[in-house]
């Protein structure tokens, strides 16, 4: 046998849990495992703007040729305007190299391969904790991965001073992976003034930031959630940014994302774009045309764009409402504990502080699914399940 020596794949902790949830026969089960936005009826919404964009694509019935390696020009330009603002000097000056990618995961992978090829001495620092797949992706590209302090379990907030202290000691050109907003898994973000305190450290230490922006719109708004991107670009730093439309347009399986590299000038951006294209060609050749059609239309058609912004505001507000409900019930059931972090954390995720054994009890006894780190996807809560979920959490938390 050719493959008898293979190690069995243990499965991905998030995706396997989501599959286990689907198989659970209990009618009142609650899925807080995966980072997917569910509406108040527990369904993954199909946004009206996406439906209308797809209807116009169907009506046009254009040939489905290959896209260029770097993806759709219309989508790439629209992505730059969404990230940086249309008039940003980095965009008008042509110093941003942007490719459409296979989700933002594709952007992370292409970026990691590029770094391994062209900056082979550089190692990566990720927040402690981070999305599990960050480590796997960079290690998979052959790059050593380390952590910097981030989440403070005692306060449910940020260890900002410890984070800065660590970054100040990194070798020049180290890659620092940062969540631009709605940190996954903790929901703990840097405040705007903390980004402004971080930037001089990144510059002085000649570090290479790699921003992951998978939840734009879920924190405080499209422009607000791009604040870090815009501040880094304005400061003249060179950096990577992988962004996703999976959550913001509810188009998970379309694999709609992009990778941008902000460079010193247009000539450098041209060089970078060329080598990113070479990386894509060797990986998956070119990105999906359907994703480009949806994203390009929604971002550039004024009516679709307005509808999208309204829908994302409603999704964001629904999550905030669920945070308030969860907080209220838990605080009432366990008055001795401070659950204020559910209100200050942003985006889809919160770190509950639940231990793995408590997470297991929640799943086995109450049918509530979350990853064993204690991360919940708040967007899995709704008016029909939030109360009993909070009661179940209070029960496993103990007295
Ligand atoms: C998550 O963290 O749950 C999402 O980003 C989905 C994924 O691919 O892990």
Q: How many percent of the chain have pLDDT more than 70? A: 100
The CA 62 to ligand 1 mean position distance, Å, reads 33
Q: Which is it for the CA torsion 220, 224, 226, 229, positive or negative?
A: negative
Q: Is the pLDDT of residue 184 over 80?
A: yes
Best mutation site among 17, 32, 34 for ligand 1, i.e. most ligand atoms within 8 A of its Cβ? 34
Nearest atom, ligand 1, residue 34 CA: 3
pLDDT value of residue 399:
56
- Mapped onto helix, strand or coil, the DSSP state of residue 125 is strand
Pairing assessment for the beta strands 208-213 and 175-179 based on DSSP bridges: parallel
Q: 81-102: per-residue pLDDT in tens?
A: 999 998 999 999 999 999 999 9
- Atom 4 of ligand 1, residue of closest alpha carbon: 35
pLDDT value of residue 398:
77
Number of CB atoms found within 10 A of residue 242's CB: 26
The answer to whether 131 is a known catalytic residue is yes
Spell out which residues line ligand 1, taking CB within 6 angstroms.
14, 34-35, 131, 184
Question: Which range (67-81, 237-251, 330-344) has the least confidence?
Answer: 330-344
Asked whether the bond before 129 is cis by omega within 30 degrees of 0, the reply is yes
DSSP 168-206: HTSPTT-EEEEESSS-TTT-----HHHHHHHHHHHHHTT
The answer to whether 212 is a known catalytic residue is yes
The one catalytic residue among 125, 131, 195, 308: 131
The CA 131 to ligand 1 mean position distance, Å, reads 8
Q: 193-221: per-residue pLDDT in tens?
A: 999 999 999 999 999 999 999 999 999 99
At residue 363 the predicted structure's pLDDT band, cuts being 50, 70 and 90, is: very high
DSSP 331-378: HHH-TTS--THHHHS-SSEEE----HHHHHHHHHHH-EE--TTSEEEG
Q: What are phi and psi of 285, to 5 degrees?
A: 75, -55
Q: What are phi and psi of 246, to 5 degrees?
A: -50, -50
- Mapped onto helix, strand or coil, the DSSP state of residue 293 is helix
Q: 217-236: per-residue pLDDT in tens?
A: 999 999 999 999 999 999 99
The one catalytic residue among 109, 113, 159, 247: 247
CA 257/CA 281 separation, integer angstroms: 17
Q: 243-286: per-residue pLDDT in tens?
A: 999 999 999 999 999 999 999 999 999 999 999 999 999 999 99
pTM of the model: 0.96
The CA 322 to ligand 1 mean position distance, Å, reads 20
- Atom 1 of ligand 1, residue of closest alpha carbon: 35
Residue 12: name the closest of 36, 33, 42 by CA: 33
Core vs surface per residue 279-289: b (16+ CB within 10 A) or e: bbeeebebbbb
The one catalytic residue among 212, 225, 227, 311: 212
Check: CB of residue 351 under 8 Å from CB of residue 185. Answer: yes
The CA 142 to ligand 1 mean position distance, Å, reads 22
Calculate ∠ Cα 108-111-114, nearest 5°: 150
Q: 278-323: per-residue pLDDT in tens?
A: 999 999 999 999 999 999 999 999 999 999 999 999 999 999 999 9
């Amino acid at each position: 046998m050719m493959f008898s020596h293979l190690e069995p794949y243990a499965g991905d902790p998030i995706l396997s849990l989501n599959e286990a949830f689907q198989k659970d026969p209990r009618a009142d089960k609650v899925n807080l495992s995966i980072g997917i936005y569910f509406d108040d009826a527990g369904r993954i919404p199909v946004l009206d703007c996406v439906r209308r964009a797809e209807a116009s694509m169907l009506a046009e019935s254009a040939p489905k040729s290959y896209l260029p390696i770097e993806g759709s020009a219309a989508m790439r330009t629209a992505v730059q305007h969404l990230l940086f603002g249309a008039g940003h000097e980095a965009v008008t000056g042509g110093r941003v190299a942007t490719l459409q990618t296979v989700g933002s995961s594709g952007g992370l992978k292409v970026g990691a391969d590029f770094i391994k090829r062209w900056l082979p001495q550089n190692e990566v620092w990720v927040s402690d904790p981070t999305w599990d797949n960050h480590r796997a992706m960079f290690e998979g590209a052959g790059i050593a991965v380390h952590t910097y302090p981030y989440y403070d379990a005692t306060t449910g907030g940020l260890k900002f001073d410890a984070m800065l202290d660590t970054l100040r000691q990194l070798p020049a050109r180290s890659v620092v992976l940062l969540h631009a907003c709605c940190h996954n898994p903790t929901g703990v973000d840097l405040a705007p003034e903390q980004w402004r305190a971080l930037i001089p450290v990144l510059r002085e230490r000649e570090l290479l930031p790699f921003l992951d922006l998978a939840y734009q719109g879920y924190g405080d708004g499209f422009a607000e959630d791009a604040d870090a991107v815009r501040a880094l670009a304005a400061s003249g730093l060179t950096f990577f940014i992988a962004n996703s439309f999976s959550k913001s347009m509810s188009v998970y399986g379309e694999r709609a994302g992009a990778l941008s590299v902000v460079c010193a000038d247009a000539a450098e951006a041209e060089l970078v774009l060329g080598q990113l294209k070479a990386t894509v060609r060797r990986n998956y050749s070119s990105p999906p045309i359907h994703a480009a059609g949806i994203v390009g239309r929604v971002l550039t058609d004024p009516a679709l764009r307005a509808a999208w912004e309204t829908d994302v505001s409603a999704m964001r507000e629904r999550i905030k409402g669920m945070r308030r409900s969860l907080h209220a019930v838990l605080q009432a059931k366990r008055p001795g504990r401070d659950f204020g972090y559910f209100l200050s954390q942003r985006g889809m995720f919160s770190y509950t502080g639940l231990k793995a054994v408590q997470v297991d009890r929640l799943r086995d006894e109450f049918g509530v699914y979350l990853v064993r780190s204690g991360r919940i996807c708040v967007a899995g809560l709704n008016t029909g399940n939030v109360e009993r979920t909070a009661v179940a959490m209070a029960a496993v938390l103990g007295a």
